């Protein structure tokens, strides 16, 4: 366990440092959300209606920014070999990487989201739903993203292929996440948040094993 903690602390430190992926993802998230009104106009009522969806899509895209090189940096500079030879199992490596990514990208995005929701005139009642849905949904993004990162780590320009692999698998997260915000907006209770939680729990529990299988195959061929 100490080994897993060591890798987690190292990755959080690396991401948080200047030039690390954490700051980059936040800036990208803010940029995309700020761009939307220029596209669809500043009509407050319209913005309020699409705010939940826009914030959710922008959050998922911002998450992907840091995900495709989750393992690739270590693969290219020889660290992955050292991790493979450490007491840490491949499952442990994936858990550490997934958690580090969520702590440095998923969580900060969730914390920043209410501020950006102001820009989109999200009604006050929906703020808790936005934060809760992002809090529950972003771990699934980190989980599924880390599996795709493990699959594409040996591809030099895997960054282009990465969204294509991940986005179809993330549609349920966006549907239930944005759906939860919309449900709150319309004052209806349709269980979106519970479906999101179920999907997230499943993704987080299964990802380490699938990610480990992907790491093993990429290292042993």
Partner 1 sequence: MFGYANPKRFMELSGRLLPWLGATTAILFAAGLYLSFTAPPDYRQGDTVRIMFIHVPAAWVAMMGYGFMALASLIGLVNRHPLADVAAKQAAPLGALFTALALITGSLWGRPMWGTYWQWDGRLTSFLLLLFLYLGYIALWNAIENEVRAAKAAAILALVGVVNLPIIEFSVQWWTTLHQGESIFRRGGPTISAVFLWPLFIMAAAYTLLFFTLLLVRMRTEILERRMRALALAANA
Partner 2 sequence: MGARLRTVHYLEVADLACVRGGRAVFRDLSFRLARGDALIVGGPNGSGKTSLLRLLAGLLPPAAGTISISAEGTQIADREERAKFIGWLGHYDGAKPQLTPREALRFFARLYGTASDPSLLEVVGLSRSADLPCQYLSAGQKRRLALARLKLCGRPLWLLDEPLASLDASGKALLLNLLRDHLAGGGIAVIATHDPLDLDAARLPLT
Q: Rounded to whole angstroms, how far apart are CA atoms 64 and 50?
A: 21
Which of these ranges, 4-12, 35-43, 150-158, 199-207, lies near partner 2 under the rule CB under 8 A?
4-12
Residue from 40, 43, 76, 128 touching partner 2 (CB under 8 A): that is 76
89 binds partner 2 (CB under 8 A): yes
Q: Which residues bind partner 1 (CB under 8 A)?
A: 147, 151-152, 154-155, 157-158, 161, 164-165, 167-169, 171-172, 175-176, 179, 182, 190, 195, 199, 210, 213-214, 217-218, 221
Residue 172 interacts with, from partner 2, partner 1, none (CB under 5-8 Å by kind): partner 1
User: Which tokens go with 157?
Assistant: 């320009």
Nearer to partner 2, 20 or 114 (CB): 20
Residue 151 interacts with, from partner 1, partner 2, none (CB under 5-8 Å by kind): partner 1
Nearer to partner 1, 45 or 156 (CB): 156
CB proximity list for 98: less than 8 A, separation 6 or greater: 139, 142, 143, 146, 204, 207, 208, 211
Residue 210 interacts with, from partner 2, partner 1, none (CB under 5-8 Å by kind): partner 1
Task: Quote the least distance from Cβ 74 to partner 1, whole Å.
Answer: 17
- 17 φ, ψ to 5°? -65, 165
Q: Rounded to whole angstroms, how far apart are CA atoms 45 and 48?
A: 5
6 binds partner 2 (CB under 8 A): yes
**Segment 23-28 long-range contacts (CB within 8 Å, at least 24 positions apart):** 24/65, 24/66, 25/62, 25/63, 25/65, 25/66, 25/104, 25/105, 25/108, 25/109, 26/62, 26/108, 26/109, 26/112, 28/61, 28/62, 28/65
Cβ atoms 62, 102 nearer than 8 A: no
161 binds partner 2 (CB under 8 A): no
Task: Quote the least distance from Cβ 216 to partner 1, whole Å.
Answer: 9
Q: What letter would DSSP give residue 124?
A: G
- Contacts with partner 2 by CB under 8 A lie at 2-3, 5-7, 9-10, 13-14, 17, 19-20, 74, 76-79, 81-89, 219-220
């Amino acid at each position: 366990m100490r080994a897993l903690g060591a890798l987690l602390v190292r990755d959080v430190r690396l991401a948080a440092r200047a030039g690390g992926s954490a700051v980059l993802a936040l800036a990208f998230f803010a940029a995309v959300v700020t761009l939307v009104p220029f596209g669809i106009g500043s009509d407050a009522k319209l913005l309020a209606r699409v705010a939940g969806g826009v914030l959710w899509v922008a959050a998922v895209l911002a998450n992907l920014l840091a995900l495709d090189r989750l393992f690739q940096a270590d693969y290219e500079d020889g660290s992955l070999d050292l991790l493979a030879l450490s007491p840490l199992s491949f499952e442990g490596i994936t858990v550490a990487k997934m958690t580090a990514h969520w702590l440095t990208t998923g969580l900060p995005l969730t914390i920043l989201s209410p501020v950006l929701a102001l820009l989109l005139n999200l009604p006050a009642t929906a703020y808790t739903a936005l934060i809760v849905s992002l809090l529950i949904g972003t771990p699934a993004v980190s989980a599924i993203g880390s599996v795709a990162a493990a699959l594409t780590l040996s591809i030099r320009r895997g960054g282009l292929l990465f969204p294509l692999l991940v986005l179809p698998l993330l549609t349920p997260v966006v549907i239930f996440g944005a759906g939860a915000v919309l449900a709150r907006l319309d004052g209806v209770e349709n269980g979106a948040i519970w479906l999101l939680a179920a999907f997230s729990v499943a993704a987080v529990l299964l990802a380490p094993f699938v990610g480990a299988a992907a790491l093993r195959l990429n290292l042993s061929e």
